[in-house]
Chains A and B, each alone.
Chain A
Amino acid sequence: MGAIYVLWLRELKRYLRSRVQIAASLGQPLLYLLALGYGLSPVFRRGGEGNYIEFVAPGVIAMTVLFSSLFSGIQLIWDRQFGFLKETLVAPVPRLHIMIGRTCGAATTSLIQGLLVTAVAVAAGFRPVSIGSLPLGFAFLVLIAVVFTAVGTTVGSTLRDMQGFQMVMNFLVMPIFFLSGALYPLEHLPVLLAILTRMDPLTYGVDGLRGALIARGHFSPALDLAVMGGLAVALTLVGAWRFSRIEI
């Protein structure tokens, strides 16, 4: 247990020390939120879909957590390059604890990022429909963080260096984001896109979050919770398995 705590604390300390990176990583979500939010608002309203900022804010919050958790998971590659990983791997601690400590730390930092963006969205005029549904929204953020930290850990345990990283960005992260319905409603989509969105894990995270925050879920909250909860467990197991196979 002690190991989980100290590794969690390490991630948090490193995060809080990288102020510049925190600021930089908030730039992209802010652009999506403000430029896209205000830019598409008139069209969206004319289409009879209501306020676009309202609609897109949960998507952008989910995106922030997606990017941040994937990158923290992939941070593993840096720890391998700079050698710190082997210090933790020879310690008399089960590898599972090491992995859980790292995952909790990464998930915590990406939740903080998500909450920062939420605060900005609120400042930009975003209003959740009810205070009572905020805990459910938070639960979805936690699930998104855990799912994608696990994906990051799996990728980070498998890639040996950063060369494969650009590939991962282009063929994994961007499709996950653009096919998730973070930016557009899931209704009335062309068949192919409709199928692809339903195969994207983030779709259910975004949908659950949107349901909780602005009561505009496409699926039922129970389905969203079940899919995200199941994936969180399954992908964490895969991540733990990949992590246990690391050779230095």
Chain B
Amino acid sequence: MIDVEHLTRKFGEFVAVHDISFQVERGEIFAFLGPNGAGKTTTIKILTTLLAPTAGTVRIDGLDPTRQSTEVRQRIGIVFQDPSLDQNLSAWENLELHGALYHVPRKVRRERMESLLTLFGLWERRAELVKQYSGGMMRRLEIARGLLHTPKILFLDEPTLGLDPQSRNQLWSHVKRLNQDEGVTVFLTTHYMDEADRVAGRIAIIDHGRIVSLGTSAQLKAHTAAATLEEAFLALTGTEIREESGTSTDRMRMAARAWRGR
């Protein structure tokens, strides 16, 4: 379903993704596990047509994201790591807009909107502008929106960052159900090893833009002679702490917030 060969992406001289190759099978749940700045988001952006690769080939359901971008987009759904809501629309309007962009028929759209908003505890406050929402509520809305249409491949980029345990639980149950009942292939990234352990079939550990290990949770543990996935992860990536390097976009966004008084 996803076929990546020798993928490299540079930003100027800096190599964010360094010659990685992997395959994800149809109906699989596949996790990218790695510290901050490992290249997870960059990889997802390339797979979802938002960035072009510097070198290497990518196939999504047999299609090239660079040249057949619309066809690829018809097959995917994504929950971004960073905010991507329209703050000046209500939750309901954000979902309506998404449903229209993804051609979800009106009747189905309304039904799903109601059930997802209820599932993530936002139904009562659906008419409020998103800028009135708390960070956690925005995050839940992002996830609800990502699940509104049923894609062939669902990309989840650190979806549980900033989520409470209840919502986290709802999310993973829902994702597993989609995977089992609808055969949706799932590509996720996370910081939380227990989550990867719980939901993912296979896990790739990525660090400094390279895949350092790939296999089932049991294989990774056996490979490093570790008792838990966390130990395996630390054995493979070291214990040094990585700072999120705050891109200019992030800084700009903060400045904009401050300026707008939020």
Contact = CB atoms under 8 A, between A and B. Distances in A.
B97 A6 contact: yes
A21 to B, nearest CB: 11
A94 interface: yes
B252 interface: yes
Given A10-B86, A14-B88, 18 more contacts: A2-B103, A10-B89, A13-B88, A13-B93, A78-B256, A81-B252, A82-B83, A83-B82, A83-B253, A86-B50, A87-B80, A87-B84, A89-B50, A90-B73, A91-B101, A92-B101, A93-B70, A160-B249
Contact of A82 (B51, B87, B98, B100): B87
A87 to B, nearest CB: 4
A158 B133 CA distance: 31
Contact of A84 (B48, B84, B103): B84
Contact of A86 (B80, B93, B98): B80
A161 interface: yes
Interface string B41-58: 000010011111000000
A247 B50 contact: yes
Interface in A1-56: 2-3, 5-6, 10, 13-14, 17-18
24 contacts: A6-B96, A6-B97, A10-B89, A17-B88, A78-B256, A80-B249, A81-B253, A81-B256, A82-B83, A82-B86, A83-B82, A83-B85, A83-B253, A86-B84, A87-B80, A90-B48, A90-B73, A90-B78, A91-B73, A91-B98, A92-B101, A93-B101, A160-B249, A162-B256
Interface in B66-95: 70, 73-74, 76, 78, 80, 82-89, 93
A91 B102 contact: yes
Given A3-B101, A6-B101, A90-B76, A84 B85 contact: yes
B248 interface: yes
Given A82-B83, A84-B84, A248-B50, A10 B97 contact: yes
B80 A2 contact: no
A88 interface: yes
Contacts of A161: 248-249, 252
A3 B73 CA distance: 14
Interface residues of A, dominant DSSP? helix
Contacts of A82: 83, 86-87, 253, 256
B103 to A, nearest CB: 7
A94 B73 CA distance: 10
Given A14-B88, A90-B48, A90-B50, A2 B253 contact: no
Contacts of B103: 2, 92
Nearest to A93: B101
A161 B128 CA distance: 28
Contacts, number: 87
A87 B5 CA distance: 27
A81 B248 CA distance: 10
A248 B252 contact: no
B91 to A, nearest CB: 14
Contacts of A6: 96-97, 100-101
A14 B83 contact: no
A129 to B, nearest CB: 41
A93 B72 CA distance: 11
Q: Which of A162, A247, A248 has the most CB of B within 10 A?
A: A248
B249 A81 contact: yes
B45 A162 contact: no
Nearest to A80: B249
A59 B198 CA distance: 66
Interface string B88-131: 11000100111011110000000000000000000000000000
A205 to B, nearest CB: 30
Interface string A160-184: 1110000000000000000000000
A6 B78 CA distance: 20
Nearest to B101: A91
Contacts of B248: 160-161
Contacts of B100: 2-3, 5-6
